[in-house]
Every structure is written in C-alpha cells, then in structure tokens.
Amino acid sequence: MSDFGDLKSALSGRLIEPQDSEYERARRVWNGIIDRRPAAIARCATVGDVIACIETAWAGRLTVAIRGGGHNIAGNAVCDGGLVIDLSPMKQIVVDPPATGVYVNYLGGEGDRRVRDAYGPNLARLSEIKRRYDPENFFRMNQNIQPAAPENLTEARVPLLRADS
C-alpha cells in the first residue's frame, strides 16, 4: 500500500482512505455488483489536484481509475488497490464576461446551442478534429462536439494546428 501523505497535503480536494468513515460510500458505484477496494480515492477540486494524482500514481506505479459519475456498468470508475481520481466535484461552468469566454467542464443537457456558445469560433476547428479522429462519434459524452461533414469544413479553412494555440 502506498503512503498518500504528500498527495493528501497537495490536494485542495479530499483524499479518502480505507480508514476514513466515508470510504465505504465513496468506493461504491452505481452497479452494486462491483465491489472494488481502492487504496485511496481523490475527490479532485482543481486541475492541479488531477495533476498531483497522476504524478503520485506514476511515482508509485499505481493502477488508476477515473471516476466521472460512476455509472459505467463495468465498474471502470473504481479499481482494487489503486488510486481512484474522482472528477465528480469538478462539474462546473464559469462565465468570465470580461474575457468573453466560458470555462466548460460539464454542460449536462443544455443542448447544442450552449455548446456552440461555449466554444465560439473554436467549434469549427474542434469539429474538424473530431471528424478526422472520431468520425463515428464514439466519444460523445458531456459536451458533444459533432464531427464536421467533410464538405462543410476543409483543412484550408480550418487548420488543425494554429500558431497561437
């Protein structure tokens, strides 16, 4: 078992270990048949928390499970003996009017218009990337960006890489 002292002090979120009272509830997933016991569950509050978890897992050669909502029927959101990186506390939208931008983490069922508004002029470029690398729209959860139809977006009009990105 790993020592998670450094990770615990680095997190702005909460690290839950087997001796903690909320461990039993935190390790459960939607599919009640799944009964896995991770060494720790990191309830991440920031991107920095996620980075700290990845670095800890890498250094300790730990198995990692990423938990969004815990509804995958196969129970992939939890692992035995490893580190669960729980992203569920990070569901948020931050609107920054002075920067004329929106931070998108989870839009729920707010629809295509909200996705278009959130990504703005970058949506065409992201759609082209999606068309090229995920034409079947396999990765379609959360803020789904539809694959662009080839006749609507050309590489000349929508470069995949820009000098300012």
Enter the tokens of residue 97. Answer: 């009017």
Read off the pLDDT of each residue in 128-146 and give the average, rounded to a whole number. Answer: 71
| Chain Cα centroid distance, residue 100 | 24
User: What pLDDT is stored for residue 156 in this prediction?
Assistant: 36
Task: Give residue 106's pLDDT.
Answer: 57
pLDDT tens column, 56-108: 999 999 999 999 877 788 888 999 999 999 998 887 666 666 655 555 555 55
Whole-structure pTM value: 0.58
- Integer angstrom CA distances of residue 64 from 76, 81, 131: 10, 9, 29
The residue that leads in pLDDT, 137 or 150, is 137
Give me the phi and psi of 86, to 5 degrees please. -90, 110
Q: Is 16 exposed, middle or buried (0-12, 13-18, 19+ CB in 10 A)?
A: buried
Mean pLDDT in residue range 16-35 = 93
47 pLDDT tier (thresholds 50, 70, 90): confident
In whole numbers, what is the pLDDT of the chain averaged over residues? 78
pLDDT category, 163, cuts 50, 70, 90? very low
**Most confident range, picked from 61-65, 97-101, 112-116, 124-128:** 61-65
pLDDT of residue 97: 62
Whether the pLDDT of residue 9 is over 80: the answer is yes
CB 88 within 8 A of CB 124: no
What pLDDT, on a 0 to 100 scale, did the predictor assign at position 94? 60
